[in-house]
Structure 1
Amino acid sequence: MTSLLTNISAMTALTTLKGINQQLDATSNRVSTGQRVSTASDNAAYWSIATTVRTDNASLSAVKDSLGLGSSAVDTAYNGLNSILSDMQNLRAKLQTALQPGVDRAKVQTEIKAIQDKMKATADSSTSSGQNWLSVDSSASNTSYQATQNVVAGFSRASSGVVTFSKIGVDVNAIKLYDVNASSITTAATAGQVFGTTSLTGTAAFRPADAVVANRGTADFSGTNEVKFNLSLGDGSTAQITLNRANLSSAAADLSRVTTDEFLNAINNQIAADTAATPLAGKVAASLDSAGRLTFTTTATGAGTNAQVTVLNVAATAGNTLIDVGFGAGTPAATDARTGAGTAAGTTTGKGILDTVDAGTTFSLATINIGSLVGTAGDTALQNIITQVEKAIAKVTDAGTKLGASKTQIDGQKTFVDTLMKANDRTIGILVDADIEEESTKLKALQTQQQLAVQALSIANSGSQTVLSLFR
């Protein structure tokens, strides 16, 4: 039926064209934005989830920045600490040089003062983003000081919407080297320790530069070489330690290449087997310190005589050659006695590792002055200073270990946060991103349909003109 009042075909064609245009607008929007869900009206649930994940990623980005700043601060402190540790080792070498007869200690003090100034300058300049963890001012009036520096490492959102931030704490009090403020701190009792002068594998006995590479770091006890010294505690417990071909045969796999482990085991076995009236068994042990030097440490701690150990070289067995393992073989025995005593627990005025006055002394590493030390009393005082430096080196090494652990934790968290952000990006993409290939194909099809709908509408509109022509 054809009507002049109602053109049903045109109305149908127009409705179809409007539908095609709406689809065409939506598809064009997806192609131009790259998203199939760009507003809440597109898909309320997906839009809400994607918005929350984007917010999480923004927070994670801030966490990543915080970790970057924290990593930079830890790196700065560690590099400064490592540089100062080298200076302290140099300081120890200067002090050991000053023990030699005839050395002008006033001139050595000039070098020591230069090292002290360099260490202080290094600590003062170890600043990152306005933070210095090596040279601090812990005074109550300094409100910017924090004993523990927290680095934001992550966050979590509970089902209730409450956000909790996780943190990595760096104990500045445990690593600070200098502190303007002095406070009363409790000191733990320490053990008695005696150290060799050189890394065990650096002594001539262990052939560090041998032409045969396999010999380096091992000692030859297949001939007449011998290590012999008296080991005693302040309570009178004494044992003579002798290492030669005869008593190493059961401890070493190859007497011509005795390793440091075999050497230490042989010493500790002799200590454990001591059957004297006041035996050393269980009271002292041999080991290598962080510098690789032969070290004897008492089991007991404190200022008592059982926490005082002495090593004294003695003459070699007839027919054998006394060799040096860091305790000065070849020098008169009486001049090579070394004693290390523990200290009692108590309280002291604490500052940083380098400017705290050690218990039983009147100076810190920052104020060491050996220029006026003379005579036997001066030698004893100098040995005590060397012991103090050894303890400080151990503390600084421990501080470096703490910073290294914090750096590892921060770097690991940075990697995790970066991975988490990428995973969130993928989640957002799955929810809201458009398939451009599919949408492009659909766009082309809708453009073709639009053209056909326009033509259909044109044909439908021309139908009434055909009917009117019948009345002409």
Structure 2
Amino acid sequence: MTGLRALVATHDLIETTHSRVSTGLRVSAAKDSAAYWSIASKMRSDVTSLAAVQDALGIGSALIATAYAGMAAAEEVVSRIKSLLVSAKDPNVDRAKIQSEIGQAQSGLISIAKSASFAGVNWLETGIENMHEAEDEFRVSSIPASISRGADGRPDLAMLGVDISTVSLFNSDGGGILQADKRSPKTIGGLRYVSSSTETGYTVNGPNRYGWPAQQTFGFDGSVTFGAGDTMSFTVTVGAENASDPDLPPPYSAGYDIDVFIDRSLVDSVLPTANGTISTPQELAQVIRASIPGDPVSVGYRDYTYSSGYEEKYVSFTDPQLWSGSEGASMAVSNFTTTTSTTGGLANSSMSYGVTASHLSLSFEPFRVHPGVVVGFEFSAYGQTRTYAITRDVVERALGTDDGIVHTSEDMVKVLQSIMGSFPNLIIETVGSGLQFAIDRSADRNSAWGTGISVSSVDVNIEPLNDIGILDVDVAINPDMIDRYQQIVDKMHEQIITAASNLGAASNRIDMQKTFIDSLSTTMNRGIGHLIDANLEEEATRMKALQTQEMLGIQALSISNASGEMIAQLFKL
């Protein structure tokens, strides 16, 4: 019985070894090694998934490669158009022939855009309605770009979103790289003006009003001679507030009176060699300054003769607004008396309050802020300057809308109030069909020189825009537009280069992932082999040994059986 059991065991081992040799697997079923079989099964499933990922990456790679090839071809054509525009600037060339070449290039661009299609997908010629406003589902194309792991640890695809608006050359509703860009916010509701002399078509600095000092000017009418007993005196009033200003509430400061007294001794101290005679506007100003200690009044002059012979000679008094306790500005000369035979043009005057710039009006024009557009500007008022920005989000939050459109001056007021509400004493309000900035004079009583409101440093991040499409370029019909054509085509060329670079970067990313997946699949297959593959050399040697062992077992069992029969025969004897 022992020999029989040994023979059966050997036969089982032979069967197992034969299975390993024939399948090449050391673990071909869970019964061979439950742990290794489970691990290998999961890894084989992952390898199969990686193969599917690799196929998907191949599709994404082909789509990007197609778009890149079209973009590269378009770049060459646009570069050619740039060269032709340079040639067209020469007034001696035949611009009709140059335009013929440009026309062929324009047709070539259309053909390139139409042909850059893979599996029915074309990124260079699109049909997206209102492309820059479209939702991502219409504007962004998702393609397989890399491998990732899901929550369950299984291989999965990571997608790359390509914004079609950045690569489309021609879009049926406009907005392609080679088409006119419709995203201009125009005058930004009145914050800037149209300009024919700037690249953007609009001014950098917007509306402004500046305060003007309270001043009195007296034309110099000849020399003034002071004898030993001569005197001249008058009163200058500064710092008074204008009770007639409708925006300035009472009470009103009466200002300050400064008494001016001039005699021979003062003239001699200022002009020691003049023998008491003041001969020029400059000398008169010097003497008056000397009579007013501390410069509470700014005394100026003008003494100039033009080439035409016209003479401009005067002395001016200006309120420097240095008086504490009063924010007013005024200038008046009163109580003028003199014993000299001439006055040098000095006399009593009315009261001047200068110009107080506490309002700034804007002519409103509707506009739209598109996604990604940032309108920046500086706002200055009464000596303070702050920087602000209007974005799509700012407009929509202020108006409770989702289209980025500022339809009316009331809308504009809401938008500006939402970002400028903390500016000191600023009032933003509608006036007729427009609007205005105003300073609350009850809170800030500054006048004249201390006032002024302005909008400056207006900047739109996407400007200058292409206001002309490349298909509209015609140097034969519009030779005066060649410079503008060059500006626009240069920018289009830059945009094409940027788009091609982005596509190239995406293609490289996918290629790296494909290489990685190839390496990962190989490594995983090698790991599976280490777990379950049989060593065929060892198994073949084992097979021979087991077969020999089986033969010996059969012989031993045969001998054992023969010996039993002989013993039985002896007992019969």
Please confirm whether the aligned pair reaches a TM-score higher than 0.5, indicating the same fold: yes
Which structure 2 residues correspond to residues 75-224 of structure 1 after superposition, within 5 A? 75-139=65-129, 147-158=140-151, 160=152, 165-182=157-174, 186=183
Aligned to 1:399: 499
Quote the Cα distance in structure 2 between the aligned partners of 1:25 and 1:392.
75
Report which structure shows greater RCO (CA 8 Å, sep ≥6): 1
- Residue deviations 1:10-38, cap 9 Å, x none? x2221111100111111111111111101
- Report the secondary structure of 1:58's partner residue: helix
- Residue deviations 1:407-461, cap 9 Å, x none? 2211111111111111111210111111111111111100101111111121222
Aligned pair partner of 2:516 in 416, 419, 430: 416
Aligned to 2:61: 71
Which structure 2 residues correspond to residues 175-324 of structure 1 after superposition, within 5 A? 175-182=167-174, 186=183
Deviation at 1:83, TM superposition (A): 1.1
Aligned to 1:62: 52
Contact 1:124–1:135 (8 Å) recurs in 2: yes
Aligned to 1:440: 540
Deviation at 1:188, TM superposition (A): 9.2
The amino acid that maps onto 2:6 is T
Quote the Cα distance in structure 1 between the aligned partners of 2:564 and 2:86.
117
- Residue deviations 1:282-323, cap 9 Å, x none? xxxxxxxxxxxxxxxxxxx99xxxxxxxxxxxxxxxxxxxxx
Quote the Cα distance in structure 2 between the aligned partners of 1:131 and 1:96.
36
Quote the Cα distance in structure 2 between the aligned partners of 1:403 and 1:72.
12
Aligned to 2:43: 53
The amino acid that maps onto 2:60 is G
Deviation at 1:170, TM superposition (A): 2.8
Quote the Cα distance in structure 2 between the aligned partners of 1:21 and 1:445.
12
The amino acid that maps onto 2:143 is N
Aligned pair partner of 1:365 in 445, 470, 473: 470
1:39 paired with 2:6, answer no
Contact 1:187–1:346 (8 Å) recurs in 2: no
The amino acid that maps onto 2:158 is S
Contact 2:53–2:156 (8 Å) recurs in 1: no
Quote the Cα distance in structure 2 between the aligned partners of 1:424 and 1:389.
52
Task: Considering fraction of residues, name the structure with more helix.
Answer: 1
Quote the Cα distance in structure 2 between the aligned partners of 1:146 and 1:432.
49
Deviation at 1:187, TM superposition (A): 5.4
The amino acid that maps onto 2:102 is I
Quote the Cα distance in structure 1 between the aligned partners of 2:466 and 2:477.
19
Deviation at 1:78, TM superposition (A): 1.3
Aligned to 2:4: 14
Contact 2:128–2:173 (8 Å) recurs in 1: yes
Quote the Cα distance in structure 1 between the aligned partners of 2:39 and 2:465.
62
Contact 1:17–1:454 (8 Å) recurs in 2: yes
Quote the Cα distance in structure 2 between the aligned partners of 1:92 and 1:366.
13
Using a 3 Å threshold, how does the CA distance of structure 1 residues 346 and 456 change in structure 2: closer, same or farther? Answer: closer
Using a 3 Å threshold, how does the CA distance of structure 1 residues 146 and 443 change in structure 2: closer, same or farther? Answer: farther
Using a 3 Å threshold, how does the CA distance of structure 1 residues 388 and 157 change in structure 2: closer, same or farther? Answer: closer
Aligned to 1:271: none
Percent sequence identity over aligned pairs: 33
Using a 3 Å threshold, how does the CA distance of structure 1 residues 464 and 162 change in structure 2: closer, same or farther? Answer: closer
Quote the Cα distance in structure 1 between the aligned partners of 2:64 and 2:488.
27
Q: Which runs of 5+ in 1 are unaligned?
A: 1-10, 194-232, 236-300, 303-341, 349-357
Deviation at 1:181, TM superposition (A): 3.0
Larger radius of gyration: 2
Aligned to 1:458: 558
Quote the Cα distance in structure 2 between the aligned partners of 1:175 and 1:123.
11
Using structure 2 for the length normalisation, give the TM-score.
Answer: 0.48
Contact 2:145–2:509 (8 Å) recurs in 1: no
- Report the secondary structure of 1:41's partner residue: coil
Contact 2:139–2:163 (8 Å) recurs in 1: no
1:385 paired with 2:482, answer no
Quote the Cα distance in structure 1 between the aligned partners of 2:521 and 2:5.
46
Contact 1:116–1:366 (8 Å) recurs in 2: yes
Which 10-residue stretch deviates more, 101-110 or 382-391? 101-110
Aligned to 1:24: 14
Quote the Cα distance in structure 1 between the aligned partners of 2:185 and 2:555.
96
Using a 3 Å threshold, how does the CA distance of structure 1 residues 26 and 92 change in structure 2: closer, same or farther? Answer: same
Quote the Cα distance in structure 2 between the aligned partners of 1:56 and 1:433.
18
Q: Which runs of 5+ in 2 are unaligned?
A: 176-180, 187-197, 206-375, 378-456
Quote the Cα distance in structure 1 between the aligned partners of 2:476 and 2:31.
84
Using a 3 Å threshold, how does the CA distance of structure 1 residues 360 and 81 change in structure 2: closer, same or farther? Answer: closer
Aligned to 1:224: none
Report the aligned-residue RMSD.
3.5
Quote the Cα distance in structure 1 between the aligned partners of 2:474 and 2:542.
87
Aligned to 1:467: 567
Which 10-residue stretch deviates more, 120-129 or 426-435? 120-129
The amino acid that maps onto 2:547 is Q
